[in-house]
Amino acid sequence: MRIRHLVLAASATGLVAIGLLFVANAASARSVQFSPQPQNADNEACLACHATPDMRTQLPSGEELFLTVDRGVFEGSVHGKAGLACTQCHTDIQDFPHDPITASTRREFTLQLYTACARCHQDKYDATLDSVHQKALAGGNNEAAVCTDCHGAHDAQPPDQPRSRIPQTCERCHSEIYNLYKDSVHGSALIGEGNPDVPSCVDCHGVHNIEGPLTGPFRLFSPQICAKCHANAELMSQYNINTNVFNSYVSDFHGTTVVLFEKIAPDQETNKPVCIDCHGVHDIRRPDDPASTVGSKEKLLATCRKCHPGADANFPTAWLGHYAPSPQKAPLVYFVDLFYKLFIPGVLGFMVVFVAADAGRRILNRRRGPRHE
């Protein structure tokens, strides 16, 4: 009888232990779900239904929500390669059947889910909170881009491989701007040749904390964005581009004003142009391109007239075109400058010599006594 009791007790304990192990496993599995570290994910439970092609459900708005996740696409994505589990993003899905979808439109559904990215990408997410997209969202514009609109969800790939992917991502919502950009000097080099030296959208606009480009402060700051490359002699020498562009702009009337506004009153608007006002924003061309806004005298006059409606044909040549005066370019300016470089020291030199002699004589006279004065 004691042995039977022992066997009973042992098996009971064993069963309880196994049961506890299951419970513990389930519990710990749940807690692992909340960690950002990829686990040995068993996504089969999810894919059993969600790999079904053409799976969809209808939302109250009448829109259809597509629920198919292509297994191959996900496994080829950065998250799939990292071995993430479905439930690491879809944290609210614990059991089957799932809790009912509360979103009434497809967009609402996306907006409910995208904040999951913050769980691992907190810094990027925090940066987006300051962005113009987030501001638009907060202002009621549901179409504004959130993480998944640019990065995708199940198919996330490194967004800059290849680099031409970046403007093509922005193209999804900003297609008109993309069409301008792709023919521009920067865009055609990036998309056509994969040139690493030209800016993509994010090089000028920022990545996650994208500031709205229509604000006054952004406009005042924008010459420095251009200067990042166009004042870099090493970079520009590869393309035979004059690096004096930034300095010549800043030392002349327009640029001096803009720089002073930026330093003293960056929130104020000024009617002086920055680089983009003359060169274009997304449709910048090389100056020797007939479509350039500053290439020919006629084009330049038209550009100047945007702000100087009374200007005549001679007016554009008042601007030295980013070149420092030299005997070949702007000889009048060069020689007037040269004249003063000699005239000023000459005149002042004469004055100093005379004044010194006069002072010296008077001091000497005073020392020698009154009869010498």
Partner 1 sequence: MSETRRRYQRFPRAYRIEHWLFVASFVTLAITGLAQKFAGAGIAQGLIGVLGGIETVRVIHRIAAVTMMLEAVYHIGAVGYRVFVKHSRFNMLPTLNDARIAIHSFLYNLGLRKDRPQQGRYSFEEKIEYWAVVWGTLIMVLTGFMLWNPIATTSILPGEVVPAAKTAHGNEALLAVLAIIIWHLYHVLVRTRNKSMFTGYLTEEQMLDEHPIELADVKAGTATRSVDPKVAASRRRTFLGVYGVIGAVMLLGIFVFVTFEKTAIETIPPAEQVTIFAPLTPTLLPTLRPTNTPAAEAPEATSPAWDTDIAELLTTGCGACHVQATLGDLSLKTYADALKGGKSGPAIVPGDPDASLLIQIQSKGGHPGQLSADELARFIAWIEAGAPEK
148-187: which residues touch partner 1 (CB under 8 A)?
A: 148-149, 152-155, 171-177, 180
116-145: which residues touch partner 1 (CB under 8 A)?
A: 143
- From 99, 92, 110, 106, select the one nearest 60 (Cα to Cα): 106
# residues contacting partner 1 (CB under 8 A): 93
Question: Whose structure tokens read 């023919």?
Answer: 183
CA dist 36 to 74, 148, 150, Å? 18, 18, 21
Query: Which CB, 162 or 346, lies closer to partner 1?
Result: 346
Distance CA 97, CA 220 (A): 55
- Is the separation of the CB atoms in 296 and 290 below 8 Å? yes
- If one counts every other C-beta atom within 10 angstroms of the C-beta of residue 322, the result is 18
Q: What is the DSSP letter of 114?
A: G
Least CB distance to partner 1 at residue 204 (A): 13
Distance CA 126, CA 106 (A): 24
Query: Which CB, 19 or 346, lies closer to partner 1?
Result: 346
Least CB distance to partner 1 at residue 60 (A): 8
211-230: which residues touch partner 1 (CB under 8 A)?
A: 214
Least CB distance to partner 1 at residue 175 (A): 5
- If one counts every other C-beta atom within 10 angstroms of the C-beta of residue 181, the result is 24
Query: Which CB, 62 or 290, lies closer to partner 1?
Result: 62
Least CB distance to partner 1 at residue 22 (A): 28
14-73: which residues touch partner 1 (CB under 8 A)?
A: 53-54, 56-58, 60, 62, 64-70, 73
- Is the separation of the CB atoms in 278 and 294 below 8 Å? yes
CA dist 142 to 57, 111, 133, 135, 137, Å? 21, 8, 10, 11, 6
79-108: which residues touch partner 1 (CB under 8 A)?
A: 106
Query: Which CB, 107 or 163, lies closer to partner 1?
Result: 107
Q: Which stretch binds partner 1 (CB under 8 A): 35-43, 78-86, 183-191, 265-273?
A: 265-273
Least CB distance to partner 1 at residue 190 (A): 19
Query: Distance from first CA to last CA of the chain, Å, rounded?
Result: 142
268-327: which residues touch partner 1 (CB under 8 A)?
A: 268-273, 276-277, 280-283, 306-312, 314-320, 325
